[in-house]
Amino acid sequence: MATSIKDIARAAGVSHSTVSRALNNSPLVSQATRDRIWRLAQEMGYSPNAGARGLVMRRTCTVGVVVTTIADPWAAEVVEGIEEVAYDHGYSVILAASQDDPEREVSAVETLRSQRVDAVIVTSSRVGALHQKRLGAAGVPVILLNSHSQQLTPQTFSVRVDDVHGGRLATEHLLALGHRRIAHVAGPVGHSTTADRLAGYRMALAAANIPFDPALVCEGTGRPPGGEQALARLLALPERPTAVFCYNDMTAIGLLRAARLAGVNVPHDLAVVGFDDIPFAAYVSPSLTTIAQPKLEMGQRAMKMALALMENSAAERVSNIVLEGRLVVRESTGPQP
């Protein structure tokens, strides 16, 4: 049984209203009693009941964040950015994992709604529009971060990286190195990021007047094993590619591993580019050339957007932020070591 405002009131011989005001530094209470009450609260180990406060204040100073899984290094860094801004503004963050399962994603958002979070940021959403409907109606802003589904509604708020641009950047880098036969390991089917990065890849090829060869594109999963399997398929081709652009770093890392086991020298026999620039991209061997997403910034921007929507709902509604990725050249495409 935690000590409440009333316990302090009893100990101080005042009403609980006075205690409430004192602890909120209201000018309506004299300096003397204010000090006395603060000291007492300290001694009694008082901690305000956030639930009760949220009840009357109609806000909880809490935002919910949905990620596919906490073990995803991409998500981790994005959340880091969110946390940072949230902390600076006195907001707490509640994390919920969707396990990349649409059903659990809905359940996660439902939990957050029950907690009466003041805003929700959903990363890598599969069913973004749905949340908008349930939460938006209740006045809770929803922000989609790198959503996998196309944004349909016009009142959608989102932050995302320009995947088409990134895919193009990656492919152009390989083209500039002289590669002409460039493969692509795609991401999970149905995700719009998968389609966009592929589109960027095709765009770059087209600009270089290289015909698109469907045989050079193979499906991946976005995780290392997907990359390992992809390499096998690429090596089985009658005419092997000299370079490959992978959907993301995890895929590329799996592919690198398979290459090493298969005796394929990277970058000599095969140049590899990833996407995301997760922390480990710099530490695999050879280190990975990749498209760096401004993950921290994306988190920060999303949180700032959330703050703006909460504080002043009539604010200028910058509804969609698109950031560009940046090419980071490392050994996997570099000159032969």
Residue numbers of the site for DNA (CB under 7 A)? 1-2, 4-6, 13-18, 20-21, 23-24, 27-33, 46, 48-49, 52-53, 55-57
Q: How far is the CB of 2 from DNA (least distance, A)?
A: 6
List Cβ<8 Å contacts ≥24 apart for 102-106.
102/126, 102/127, 105/66, 106/130, 106/131
335 binds a second copy (CB under 8 A): no
**Residue 6's binding partner, choosing from DNA, a second copy, none, with beta-carbon cut-off 5 to 8 A by kind?**
DNA
189 binds a second copy (CB under 8 A): no
Q: How far is the CB of 224 from a second copy (least distance, A)?
A: 6
List Cβ<8 Å contacts ≥24 apart for 139-143.
140/113, 141/306, 141/309, 141/310, 141/313, 143/119, 143/302, 143/305, 143/306, 143/309
Distance (Å, whole) CA 306 – CA 27: 31
> Using CB under 8 A, which of 2, 28, 189, 207 touches a second copy?
2
232 binds a second copy (CB under 8 A): no
115 binds a second copy (CB under 8 A): yes
> Using CB under 8 A, which of 254, 267, 274, 325 touches a second copy?
254
185 binds a second copy (CB under 8 A): no
Q: What is the DSSP string of 79-122?
A: HHHHHHHHHHTT-EEEEEE-TT-HHHHHHHHHHHHHTT-SEEEE
What is the side-by-side strand order in the sheet with 157-161? 92-97, 62-67, 119-123, 142-145, 157-161, 320-323
Q: How far is the CB of 40 from DNA (least distance, A)?
A: 13
Q: Tell which positions 31-50 bind a second copy, by CB under 8 A.
A: 45, 47-50
- Cis bond before residue 238 (omega within 30° of 0): no
Distance (Å, whole) CA 149 – CA 163: 13
Q: How far is the CB of 209 from a second copy (least distance, A)?
A: 36
Q: Give the nearer residue to a second copy in terms of CB position, either 16 or 113.
A: 113
79 binds a second copy (CB under 8 A): yes
> If binding means CB under 8 A, how many residues of this protein chain bind a second copy?
53
114 binds a second copy (CB under 8 A): yes
**Residue 57's binding partner, choosing from a second copy, DNA, none, with beta-carbon cut-off 5 to 8 A by kind?**
DNA
The values of phi and psi at residue 26, to 5°, are: -70, 140
Q: How far is the CB of 320 from a second copy (least distance, A)?
A: 26
Q: How far is the CB of 112 from DNA (least distance, A)?
A: 15
26 binds a second copy (CB under 8 A): no
Q: Is 39 left (phi over 0), alpha (psi -120 to 50) or beta?
A: alpha
80 binds a second copy (CB under 8 A): yes
129 binds a second copy (CB under 8 A): no
Please report which residue ranges of the chain form alpha helices under DSSP H: 5-12, 16-23, 31-43, 50-57, 73-88, 102-114, 128-137, 163-176, 192-207, 224-235, 249-262, 295-311
Rule CB under 8 A: which residues touch a second copy?
1-2, 45, 47-52, 54-55, 58, 60, 69-73, 76-77, 79-80, 83, 92-97, 110-111, 113-116, 134, 137-139, 224, 253-254, 256-257, 260, 279-280, 282-287
